[in-house]
Amino acid sequence: MIRVLIAAPSAIARAGLESIVRSSSAFEVVGAATDLASLASAIERDRPDVVLADLEFDPSDIGPAELAAAPFVLLADHPAGSWMMEALRSGVRAVLPRDIAPNEILAAIDAAAAGLTVLHPSDLPALLPAAPVAERAASSDLTEALTPRELEVFAMLAEGAGNKTIAWKLGISEHTVKFHVASIMGKLNAATRTEAVAIGIRKGLILL
């Protein structure tokens, strides 16, 4: 079971996030914090696996001790590309819009707990430089086409779903999902999931 700490200044926001987390038996809410000042002590006290934070602050304000103690999933209103880059450099695992669907929040928590980085597909263009013309021409074709099942997995991967969520939705084992993800990354010549999604967007395999 994944232990989740909720951080939000508003009692209503905290209650809403707690309700989302408690809707899945795979997660447990272990504590709450109202601001950065109380966050450090809450992390030390509750020892969460993931911190789900709906706070308005500069990500660099989070201390290295807190970031080392647990991966962060941040909710923010239309964050700028530079702000997201700073958050990711600081060690935050996921940056998502506040109006994201509950199941996507759960998938992001699952992915963050597994050590993965999660971004909403709509935010990727702001983070990725446009590929040079020569590079786009050279990479216009895949070494090997993705299978229909791989395209299904890829679409869910781009939405931020974790392996467990993908396995559940498709009715296959988590091991099979890992196999498909590895195959997708190999065919796209991508080193990370984020890079695979970026390549998929450029090649038209993922529609934003």
The CATH number of 128-202, from 3.40.50.970, 3.90.1150.10, 3.40.50.300, 1.10.10.10, is 1.10.10.10
CA atoms within 13 A on the CB side of 208: 15
What is the CATH number assigned to the segment(s) 2-120? Answer: 3.40.50.2300
Cα–Cα distance for residue pair 54/111, rounded to 1 Å: 18
What pTM does this model have?
A: 0.58
What's the mean pLDDT when you consider all of the chain?
A: 80
Locate 113 and state its tokens.
């707990």
Locate 144 and state its tokens.
């090997």
Supply the pLDDT for residue 18: 94
The angle at the Cα of 127, spanning 122 to 130, to the nearest 5 degrees, equals 100
Supply the pLDDT for residue 127: 61
Low-confidence ranges of the chain (pLDDT < 50): 130-141
Supply the pLDDT for residue 81: 57
The residues, any chain, with a CB within 8 Å of residue 87's CB and separated by 6 or more, are 59, 74, 79, 95
Supply the pLDDT for residue 4: 95
Supply the pLDDT for residue 78: 63
Supply the pLDDT for residue 135: 44
Q: Look-up: residue for tokens 């967007």?
A: 201
Cα–Cα distance for residue pair 24/28, rounded to 1 Å: 8
Domain ranges of the chain: 2-120, 128-202
Q: Identify any residues that bridge with 97 across adjacent strands, giving them in sequence order.
A: 76
Supply the pLDDT for residue 119: 75
Class of residue 190 by CB neighbours under 10 A (exposed 0-12, middle 13-18, buried 19+): middle
